[in-house]
Each structure stands twice: as C-alpha cells, then as structure tokens.
Amino acid sequence: MDVPSCPKCNTPLDSKQTCVTCAAEAEGLKLIGRSGYASVKEMMDLLSGEGLSPAMDQVSPRRPEEQLHPLWNLYVPEDETGRAADILQKDWAHLIGDPEAMAAAARGLKGVDLDAGGEIECPACGHRFAASVASADCPDCGLSLGAPAEASPDEAET
C-alpha cells in the first residue's frame, strides 16, 4: 500500500489528507499510545476511571492487515500526560509483577533510534549491540527492530 504520511509525525493521512494525530495535538491532546481497538479502549476506560480525559481516534491503514484490524491513537490532554503514564505503568506492573519485565517495559519506553547509529540496547532483552538500518535484529533474542521508514508514528518520533 502506498499511503501518504504526515511529514511531521509519520501518521498515515486519511482520505482528506488530514493527520488525525496532528489534528488532536492542535486541540491540546498528546498521543500516549497506538494499538488495536481493544487495547486502546481498555487503557481509555482505565484512564477515565482515574478521572482523566482520554480520547481516541482511528488511524488510517498503512498496511493491508490494518484494513481489517485498524490501529487507534490514544490521547490525553497535554497536562495529564505524566499522570496517564504513571497510571498505565502501575496497571502494567500489576499485570506483570516481574521486576525483569518492568525493566523491559522501561527499555521499550526509551525507544530506539536506528538512524543515530552506534550501540543500542535491545528493548526486549537488554542486550547491547551495534545496530544499523541494514541489520536491526538483536543477535541475542532475535527481536527485529525494523526499518525506521516502516515504524509506527510514535516509534518514528523517538
């Protein structure tokens, strides 16, 4: 699929050539996650239950599989981002309950910049290795970090 993307955040543009992520940002919302509907709805309900004001938008499909299983953006007002992150991390920590998994989650939040070159830390296992766009698989656990051009918008920003 050749889908045009937002030059600012890499979100696929909708049929009107509008970026849902930038439109939400213009309304004072901050993107805090992107996933399938069930995951985003669950996080949205949790945040709402804690008194926050989350919102969600469907993202235009970038890949064929996203036509049947679209991705959704989850936002909160900019001044709620810190509290939202704390609430979600506590919820995930409760589900995981494993210090090593918590360390992996922290690595995942840091993101990986393949364009920067040099040594990186694998978000999954913590192994440090020299990655490049041509060779972006962790030699320890096999996690494929993919090409930056194919990253989801939130990954492309980090």
Q: CATH no. for residue 54? A: 3.30.70
Q: State how many domains the chain has.
A: 2
pTM for the full model?
0.62
Verify that 36 and 9 share a domain, yes or no.
yes
Domain span holding position 149: 98-158
Verify that 41 and 85 share a domain, yes or no.
yes
Q: Is the pLDDT of residue 99 over 70?
A: yes
Verify that 104 and 156 share a domain, yes or no.
yes
Verify that 28 and 11 share a domain, yes or no.
yes
Q: Is the pLDDT of residue 107 over 60?
A: yes
Verify that 105 and 39 share a domain, yes or no.
no
Closest CA to 75 of 96, 59, 95, 94: 59
Verify that 17 and 79 share a domain, yes or no.
yes
What is the predicted pLDDT for the residue at 137? Answer: 82
What is the predicted pLDDT for the residue at 122? Answer: 84
Verify that 107 and 31 share a domain, yes or no.
no
What is the predicted pLDDT for the residue at 81? Answer: 96
Domain boundary among 96, 112, 139: 96
49-67 pLDDT per residue, tens: 999 999 999 999 988 888 8
What is the predicted pLDDT for the residue at 24? Answer: 96
What is the predicted pLDDT for the residue at 71? Answer: 93
